Structure 1
């Protein structure tokens, strides 16, 4: 049992903590910004590579299956309904946070992403790539897999109910800090939404609704930006 806990901690370092630290360090020190195509390729390469690495480590090092992440009772219809419900909750939080936290926390606008969004208006290829593999694999699937992997790995360290709640908070704080480039507003609001996602997974043990709701939440926001942002 102790040996497995050590392996779990090693896996967390390799899959979550070290990559997050390197990503934050790079974002803090790079000054040139990303070109639009780099913003397309980066999530695909980093996210896709991390998904493959997670599968390898979980399957061959931890001797576990990725199916553990979707082990709760459910089916595609229920998953879709839960995804829609979660998306609604995220948007409710979005508007509540804007009314309450935007005045006291700092938000850093992502001009690089805005530039990509505007280029997508003129370039159908960028539009297809972003709303296709980038959104669904490089962002939604990657981030939810990492969140659930971090959460379940922490849970394995202790069966205590108090620790399970603490693990939800730790996972959400780390998830929020991973979005450090968005300022304190981004860190806090993403951490809050992460708590919702973690509580859902604690109760239902279903990954798919989290992935779908994540893609819907981000996709709807970007879609609205493309439609409403001035030409």
Structure 2
């Protein structure tokens, strides 16, 4: 089998079962009730399965090592600086959304199910620790590993600048569609932020800034909700 065929297979084994199926589910199904055990169980299993598929495909199909995801011998301080740059960009984009294009679209989401779920989680300290700890870590690890893996294999197909930017925007569009139930403004913000994080990965070839920024953003968001809403 040619290397090009292997790269295409590597993209499809992540894209089809994990992302396209999730997008279809978002468009077709609207959950009115979310159970805690199902929520934790489903997303934790999905994250572990996705990580396993990425690492096994990378090692045994593509014969690559872990340097696909991390640049070796680079000082951690550089990754931390990039992580806080991404984190600051997240809050900046969120602020711009609230004062501009969030007001351009008429969209009201029924947040009853997710609100009830979070209230149930944060009323139990064990569940709260799980969502602030391993749940968030695995979810972010799944996202950064799968997206970077898709991007790496797409870039292996073609190294031209046009193709690079096309893949950056393509994957950003794909992940933005996962925000369809949050409305157009959330999709726009996701597209902008993910495009920027994709560029960071392209430029510096390390998932560490993306992972750190994602974990910090999710953790701060959840703690803020816990402190001021529950």
Q: What is the aligned partner in structure 1 of residue 22 from structure 2?
A: 23
Unpaired segments of 5 or more residues in structure 2? none
Residue by residue over 1:58-97, the C-alpha shift from the partner in whole angstroms, topping out at 9 and shown as x without a partner, is 1111111233111266223332232122111111111111
Please name the residue that 1:196 is paired with: 196
Post-superposition Cα deviations, 1:83-130, rounded to whole Å, max 9, x if no partner, equal 122111111111111211212233635433322321233101111110
Q: Quote the residue 2:40 is aligned against.
A: 40
Q: Gaps (5+ residues) in structure 1?
A: none
Cα-Cα RMSD: 2.0
By how many angstroms is 1:215 displaced?
0.9
Corresponding residue number in structure 1 for 2:62: 62
1:7-40 Cα offsets, whole Å, 9 max, x none, are 1111211112332222233342364542122222
Aligned: 1:119 with 2:99: no
Aligned residues: 228
Residue 132 of structure 2 corresponds to: 131
SS at match of 2:158: coil
- How far apart are the structure 2 equivalents of 1:61 and 1:189? 35
Runs of 4+ in 1 over 4 A off after TM superposition: none
Q: Secondary structure at the match of 1:119?
A: helix
The answer to whether the 8 A contact 1:36-1:116 is kept is: yes
Q: Relative to 1, partners in 2 of residues 1:111 and 1:77: Cα closer, same or farther, differing over 3 Å?
A: farther
Residues 178-217 of structure 1 deviation map (CA, whole Å, 9 limit, x = unaligned): 3333232222211111011011112111111100100111
Residues 1-231 of structure 1: pairs in structure 2 closer than 5 A: 3-27=2-26, 28-29=28-29, 31=31, 33-71=33-71, 74-105=74-105, 106=107, 108=109, 110-137=111-138, 139-229=139-229, 231=230
* Contact 2:31/2:113 (<8 A) preserved: no
Cα 1:59–1:107, aligned 2, differ >3 Å: closer, same or farther? Answer: farther
